[in-house]
Each structure stands twice: as structure tokens, then as C-alpha cells.
Amino acid sequence: MKFKVLIVEDSKVSREHIAATVEAVDGVEAVTTASGFEALKLLPRQRFDLIITDINMPDINGLELINFVKKNPNYRDVPLIIVTTEGREQDRSRGMALGAAGYLVKPFQPEDLEALLRRFLKPL
């Protein structure tokens, strides 16, 4: 069975870049969405093994998504990775404080993301 990764990112190009990187890893499937709202809708319907989320998004921010996931007994075990651009240390540290498992700083190298995937999706 494949691991399923949810990608929440409002920038199309960035989203597709992350999805392509994720899917390049054998045994991993990517589900993408452009907003936090969509993510909230998807969560009860599918089971995800990992969530990758942007922080600055138009509807709810990524921190709120992390908080929602971590407070909900159904999803709280799903690891979350934050994707931010540099210079947003406060947002990043808040995300980690809320329970995110790791972060990536854009622009990132595919290997960085792959390393995170291998860390959180076991056995991969």
C-alpha cells in the first residue's frame, strides 16, 4: 500500500513542484490542495500519512491547520511538515511549537524533502 501525502499550498507552481518531488519517491502518492479549507474537507474523507503545508495562505493559515490537526484525536498522529520562505522565523517556530514535525525553507532541494519523507514515512 502506498503512503499518502497531503500537500496544502496556494501557489500552483510550488504545489506542483512539491507534488512532483513527493511522487518521485517510490511508494508515495501525493494529494494536493490549494487552501486550508479544502484540507479541512479532505481530512475526514481520506487517511493521510503525512501533511505538508504552507503557512501564508488566504483562508486559514498553516498554523491553524497544524493546531486543528494536532488537537483532533483522529488526526493528531499524522506528522506535519511546514514549508515557508526564509525570514519567517516566528511563524516557523510557532508551527514547531504547535507540533509540526519538521520544516522546509523555500526554495528547497528535492533531496531535503526526500530526506524528510524518509524520516516520517516508515518503512520507506
Partner 1 sequence: MTPGGKALAEFVAEATEILDALGRDLLALDEARGQEADPEHINGIFRAAHSLKGLSGLFGQERISQLAHAAEDLLDRLRLGRLTLDDGVLDTLVDALDTFQALLGEASRTEEGPELTQRTRDMEDRMARLGSPPPAVEEDPLERLELDATVRAVFTEYEEHRLRENVRRGVALWRVRAAFDLTDFDQGLADLNARLKPVGEVISTLPSSRPGGANGIAFDLIFGAKVAAPSLEAALRGTPAELAPLAVRPPQEGAPGPAFDVPRPPPEDVDAELLPPDTDEEAPDEDAEPPGGSTSLATVPVPPIGSPPRMRAVTPPPTVVGLQAAASAPLPAGRPKTEETSLRSLTQTVRVDIGRLDGLINMVGELLLIKANLQRLAETSRQDGTVALSKLFGQELSRETRQLERKLEALQEGLLEARMVPVGQVFDKLARLVRKIAREAGKEIDFVSSGGEVELDKLIVEELSDPLMHLIRNAIDHGAEGPESRLAAGKPRRAVVRLRAEQKGNHVVISVSDDGSGIDEVRVREVALSRGLVTPSQVSEMTRRELLNLIFLPGFSTRASVSALSGRGVGLDVVKNNLGNLSGIIDVWSERGKGTAFHLTLPVTLAIVRALVVGVSGRTYAVPLNSVLEILSVQPRDIRTVERREVLDLRGQTLPFLRLGRLFHLPEHEVNRHFVIVVGLAQQRLGIAVDELFGQQDIVTKPLGGRLSRVKGISGATDLGNRRTVLVLDVAELLEEGIAQERRRA
Contacts with partner 1 by CB under 8 A lie at 10-14, 17, 36-38, 40-41, 44, 55-56, 58-61, 63-68, 71-72, 85, 87-88, 90-91, 94, 97-98, 106-107
Provide the minimum distance between the beta carbon of 15 and partner 1 in the complex, in angstroms, as a whole number.
11
Backbone region of residue 81 per phi and psi (left: phi > 0; alpha: psi in -120 to 50; beta: other values): beta
Looking at the Cβ atoms of 66 and 121, the one nearer to partner 1 is: 66
Which residue, 49, 50, 56, 40, is CA-closest to 92? Answer: 56
Cell numbers given for 115: 530526506
Task: Tell me the chain's radius of gyration from C-alpha atoms.
Answer: 13
Provide the minimum distance between the beta carbon of 114 and partner 1 in the complex, in angstroms, as a whole number.
16
Looking at the Cβ atoms of 36 and 102, the one nearer to partner 1 is: 36
Cell numbers given for 78: 499524522
Looking at the Cβ atoms of 96 and 124, the one nearer to partner 1 is: 96
Looking at the Cβ atoms of 49 and 91, the one nearer to partner 1 is: 91
Q: What are phi and psi of 83, to 5 degrees?
A: -115, 120
